[in-house]
Amino acid sequence: MQPLDFTGGRVFTDRGRFYTESLCPGKRIYGERLTATSGTEYREWDPRRSKLSAYLHCGGKEFPFRKDGKVLYLGASSGTTASHVADVCPDGRVFCVEFAQRMFRDLVGTCGTRPNMMPILGDATRPQEYSMFVESVDVVYQDVAQKRQADIVCDNMDAFGAEFGMVAVKARSEDVTASPESIFAAAEERIRERGFRITDARSIEPYEKSHEMIAFRRARA
């Protein structure tokens, strides 16, 4: 099991698979494979179930999640990816926002396995409505699969003072008639207009069709 340097040693690799060190040994969140080495348990991070893992498998090197990082995760669903982010940030906090009641119930169960995961029933388009539950954060990660994804992530970065952003843009959620390339270009342009600098943008196919991960940070004057 080898740590990946560009993740600050927080993500591990072995024979082409990626892993996080489990904060809750013995417990699976989504049926993932568990493996123990020298008394430490690792959870396989499946790129077919997690767009952030897909990004890493596609060669992505932007990874702003630190051991003590505070992360606002928008569109947490049942907490599959968010649980890996929580493993990566054991001394930090992951605020998980989800607006679908059904998914939120499962998310509450997932958050119960990790003391640094906090479930928030809220709408990512209205950050003011959950601002009382969220501190300032280092990173906003967004995977809401709906329209206006670029503005939603930027609004939350401004609301919570984040330095880093990542957004998994789903072309079909923005406009089924336009080409994915034009949708990705428009999302990148909007992020720049909002005062951020894009540090990476790449397709996450073949793991997710017509999706692009965009990583960015606040531009310095």
Ligand X SMILES: C[S@@+](CC[C@H](N)C(=O)[O-])C[C@H]1O[C@@H](n2cnc3c(N)ncnc32)[C@H](O)[C@@H]1O
Residues that bind ligand X (CB under 6 A): 50-51, 75-77, 80-81, 97-100, 103, 123-125, 143-146
Task: State which residue has the least CB distance to ligand X.
Answer: 75
Pairing type for strands 211-218 and 164-170 reads antiparallel
To ligand X, the closest distance from the beta carbon of 9 in angstroms equals 23
* Of residues 50 and 210, the one with the C-beta less far from ligand X: 50
* Of residues 1 and 103, the one with the C-beta less far from ligand X: 103
Rg (CA), the chain: 16
DSSP code at position 159: H
* Of residues 147 and 197, the one with the C-beta less far from ligand X: 147
* Of residues 123 and 219, the one with the C-beta less far from ligand X: 123
CB 78 within 8 A of CB 103: yes
Phi and psi for 7 in degrees, rounded to 5?
-95, 10
To ligand X, the closest distance from the beta carbon of 220 in angstroms equals 29
Cβ within 8 Å of residue 193, ≥6 positions away: none
To ligand X, the closest distance from the beta carbon of 39 in angstroms equals 28
To ligand X, the closest distance from the beta carbon of 56 in angstroms equals 13
**Alpha-helical runs (H) found in 119-206:** 149-160, 171-174, 180-193
Residues 168, 100: Cα–Cα separation, whole Å: 19
To ligand X, the closest distance from the beta carbon of 77 in angstroms equals 4
* Of residues 76 and 94, the one with the C-beta less far from ligand X: 76
Residues 68, 70: Cα–Cα separation, whole Å: 7
